[in-house]
Structure 1
């Protein structure tokens, strides 16, 4: 596959990582719309001016869409990687709200467990950028420009 801004050659580990992340997002999005809806509502910060159930539904739809994009749009994996990474940054306030409000959800029923979870969100951002080759493509473009 020729290297373009939309796609980047990735190794087998990155390919597997992209597939696993796509499956995880699709699964999480499906759980937003069904069996874990109440749990996800607990993570919606109270300062969001939209009904928490709508936030959960909309974010579930977005997660399913992003998961399927990671699985099916490999020709656009770089752009998809940046979008997924941005999504993980945008939903981080929900994790902070769960920690700050001491809200129990998803077996995160201690301050320590909620604190540890905060450190996993940056790993998801890194996973999205690494598995799609987005970070590698950005660095390559940056080197070419100099």
Structure 2
């Protein structure tokens, strides 16, 4: 679980930055009063912080898991925007792939919660 937000966060700040800007809806820039690049950078920083929290705070992994899941929900409108506008990005260059990405997002939310649940005490 830790590697996914770390890799995605690094991508937001470097090689994938341009592609991630495509997913930012225009309304988000108006609501947040900033540009798409700043939103991409901020989301990358948040992902890196979440990955760091998963590593540094093992006793809080359930809470951090909820935060990761909430982050995945928060960025979902960007996935919907990309699907609705038909804008291509790396690995998301067809309508089918963009649609499948929406379902993957749901799986990521479930995975974040499942993989960070505390072990049962007996």
The TM-score, its normalising length taken from structure 2, stands at: 0.90
Q: Structure 1: how far apart are the matches of 2:20 and 2:26? A: 13
Structure 1 position 118 matched with structure 2 position 102:
yes
Structure 1 position 27 matched with structure 2 position 1:
no
Gaps of 5+ in 2: none
| Corresponding residue to 2:18 among 16, 29, 38 | 38
Q: Structure 2: how far apart are the matches of 1:70 and 1:23? A: 10
CA RMSD after TM alignment: 1.4
Q: Structure 1: how far apart are the matches of 2:68 and 2:114? A: 11
| Aligned-pair CA distance for 1:22 | 1.0
Structure 1 position 94 matched with structure 2 position 78:
yes
> Contact 1:23/1:71 (CA < 8 Å) preserved in 2?
no
Q: Cα deviation per residue 1:8-54 (whole Å; 9 max; x = unaligned)?
A: xxxxxxxxxxxxx2111111101111111101101101111220000
The TM-score, its normalising length taken from structure 1, stands at: 0.75
Q: Which residue of 2 aligns with 1:75?
A: 59
Give every structure 1 segment of 4 or more consecutive aligned residues whose post-TM-superposition deviation is greater than 2 Å. none
Structure with higher helix content: 2
Structure 1 position 53 matched with structure 2 position 37:
yes
Aligned length: 116
| Corresponding residue to 1:85 among 64, 69, 72 | 69
Gaps of 5+ in 1: 1-20, 138-146
| Aligned-pair CA distance for 1:92 | 0.2
Point out which structure has higher relative CO (alpha carbons under 8 A, 6+ apart).
1
